[in-house]
């Protein structure tokens, strides 16, 4: 991974990838870790950070302390037995259902988007980690037709905003595969006795069509993840859509050096299957930075107050071999 400098010289690497090492990597501060491995570590850390209320195993109740008033910036069901923070999309629906504007949530997500764009999708989202892990490395991935990606607008507009506003029910959460994986299934499989009432948390006979439908959605997405890179992120995720608005204006930027010959190595590395050289700051990019193992792709910062763009500086430098 190469990180752009502010001073105008060729970007130096903070973390050298395995590809760097194969190319020699002379003079670089080399750490034997790839960007992909580093992402796995941060994604697992995010999963633990957002679900660290292990006291639930003793109290048999979800955490209801002050941390639950704030959201993590990725999908993480706040009904998970060990969840310590709220889900941003669940919170958004709550405000729609109560006919209020979610100032805090939108401000929080917007600020993160302005800083790093969709980087949260690539580096923190645990469900992205699951889809990456299931993706077949040997098989050529199937392409997602461009039209299908507009389903995210439908999900955001209808399931997150309009239907909760009209029905006061959180319909995205009811069908969310992340909620199914980390909340519904754990509760159903565990189903402890409520210490206050003495009854089971989930009453016998309450397993209905809704649970069957959400399990079917989860299984379908996991199966499709074998042959399509990150299908949920690209076709359904309303949070990824919201963050995608900011890739063009965020401070964190990807740049492609002029010497790029379009060999498509970046597309092979990309978890969402995009050609980075066509649009380095595409709204589809999840800023995983895996593509920066190619010497032509660099990541840099562009501050709004008179700071020259990284692309302007890099044009004077030739790419490293």
Partner 1 sequence: MSDEQNAPSQAETAGPGAQRGKPAVVIGLFVLFLAMIGYGIVAGNVFDNYENASNL
Minimum distance between the CB of residue 226 and partner 1, rounded to whole angstroms? 27
What distance in Å separates the CA atoms of residue 198 and residue 210, rounded to the nearest whole number?
25
Position 211 contacts partner 1 (CB under 8 A): yes
Q: Is 111 in the site for partner 1 (CB under 8 A)?
A: yes
Is residue 108 a contact point for partner 1 (CB under 8 A)? yes
With contacts defined by CB under 8 A, how many residues of the chain interact with partner 1? 52
Contact 109, 92 (CB under 8 A): no
Binding mask 2-41 for partner 1 (x = CB under 8 A): ----------------------------------------
* Near partner 1 by CB under 8 A: residue from 8, 24, 157, 259: 259
> Exactly one of 45, 54, 57, 104 binds partner 1 (CB under 8 A); which one?
104
Binding flag, residue 110, partner 1 (CB under 8 A): yes
Please report how close the Cβ of residue 56 comes to partner 1 at its closest, in angstroms. 13
User: HEC string of 31-81?
Assistant: CCCCHHHHHHHHHHHHHHHHCCCCCHHHHCCCCCCHHHHCECCCCCCCCCC
Q: How far is CA 137 from CA 53, 104, 228, 229, in A?
A: 35, 40, 11, 10
CB 164 within 8 A of CB 170: yes
Least Cβ distance, residue 79 to partner 1 (angstroms): 4
Do 250 and 260 touch, CB atoms closer than 8 A? Answer: no
For the record, the structure tokens of 321 come out as 């071999």
Tally of CB atoms within 10 A around 139: 9
* Among positions 46, 50, 62, 274, the unique one binding partner 1 when judged by CB under 8 A: 62
- Could you list the residues that contact partner 1 (CB under 8 A)? 62, 64, 68-71, 77-79, 86, 90-91, 94-95, 98, 100-108, 110-111, 114, 170, 173-174, 179, 183-184, 187-188, 202, 206, 210-211, 249, 251, 258-261, 304-306, 309, 311-312, 315
């Amino acid at each position: 991974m190469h990180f752009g400098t502010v001073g105008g010289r060729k970007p130096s690497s903070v973390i050298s990838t395995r590809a760097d090492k194969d190319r020699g990597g002379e003079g670089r501060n080399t750490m034997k870790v790839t960007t992909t491995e580093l992402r796995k570590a941060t994604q697992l850390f995010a999963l633990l950070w957002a679900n660290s209320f292990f006291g639930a195993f003793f109290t048999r109740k979800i955490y209801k302390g002050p941390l639950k008033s704030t959201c993590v910036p990725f999908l993480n069901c706040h009904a998970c037995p060990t969840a310590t923070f709220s889900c941003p999309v669940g919170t958004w629906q709550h405000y729609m259902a109560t006919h209020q504007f979610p100032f805090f949530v939108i401000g929080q997500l917007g600020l993160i988007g302005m800083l790093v764009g969709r980087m949260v999708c690539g580096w923190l989202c645990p469900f992205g980690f699951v889809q990456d892990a299931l993706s077949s490395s040997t098989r050529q991935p199937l392409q997602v037709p461009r039209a299908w990606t507009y389903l995210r607008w439908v999900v955001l507009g209808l399931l997150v905003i309009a239907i909760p506003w009209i029905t006061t029910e959180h319909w995205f959460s009811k069908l969310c595969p992340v909620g199914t994986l980390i909340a519904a299934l754990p509760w159903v499989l565990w189903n402890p006795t409520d210490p206050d009432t003495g009854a089971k948390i989930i009453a016998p006979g309450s397993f209905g069509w809704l649970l069957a439908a959400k399990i079917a959605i989860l299984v379908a997405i996991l199966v499709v993840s074998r042959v399509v890179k990150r299908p949920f992120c690209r076709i359904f995720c309303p949070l990824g859509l919201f963050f995608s608005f900011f890739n063009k204006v965020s401070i964190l930027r990807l740049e492609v050096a002029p010497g790029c010959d379009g060999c498509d190595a970046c597309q092979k590395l990309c978890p969402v299957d995009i050609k980075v050289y066509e649009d380095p700051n595409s709204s589809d990019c999840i800023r995983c930075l895996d593509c920066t193992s190619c010497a032509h792709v660099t990541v840099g910062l562009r501050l709004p107050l008179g700071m020259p763009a990284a692309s302007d500086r890099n044009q004077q430098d030739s790419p490293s071999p």
